[in-house]
Amino acid sequence: MSADVDWGVDVKRSVTMTVNGTQHTADVEPRLNLVDFLRIDLGLTGTHIGCEHGVCGACTVLLEGEPIRSCLFFAIQADGTTITTIEALAVDDQLHPIQEAFHENHGLQCGFCTPGMVLAALAFLEDNPSPSEREIRVALAGNLCMCTGYVNIVKSVQAAAAALAGKAGT
């Protein structure tokens, strides 16, 4: 093989995406993961990097309202899309009902999995506003937590479902 082969490593592509309601345009390398684009280029560090293999769910964001693993998704694949990260949920220091439910029900300990867990729960509750405990456990099975044992995470999602439905209490 010739040493002067262009492997396209230094070739950048222009992408435009709307992240948390703000449109961003940037030149990115084709191999740049979406999680790195969000954290490094946009400074949105609420999206965590965990296993980098799509197993743990710490990097979960919403792409067009659907949860994805941003460590397995290239930034160029997000061109023309709308992305929601954890930073978009609280408004004017007012926690989103799911965030509030996690806080009130002790659904977090170290907090590393929490952003991905909250976003996965948000997408799930939009599709299933009144889930059973089993449905919650199945829906969040792809988001790993090493601290809580999931009991309070499930309670948090149940409380969030009640709050989003306008019900009092849990």
User: Which residues in the chain come in under a pLDDT of 70?
Assistant: 1-9, 167-170
> What does the pLDDT read at residue 14?
96
CB neighbours of residue 81 within 10 Å: 16
pLDDT at 11: 87
pLDDT number for residue 35: 98
pLDDT for residue 149: 80
At residue 40, φ and ψ (nearest 5 deg) are: -85, -50
At 6 the pLDDT is: 62
Sequence-distant (6+) residues with CB within 8 A of 99 are: 89, 90, 118
Sign of the CA dihedral with 54 first, then 121, 22, and 82 last: positive
Whole-number pLDDT of residue 92: 93
pLDDT value at residue 168: 42
Task: For residue 169, give every residue at least 6 positions away whose Cβ sits within 8 Å of its Cβ, in sequence order, or none.
Answer: 162
| Domain annotation for the chain: domains and CATH numbers | 13-88 (3.10.20.30), 97-164 (1.10.150.120)
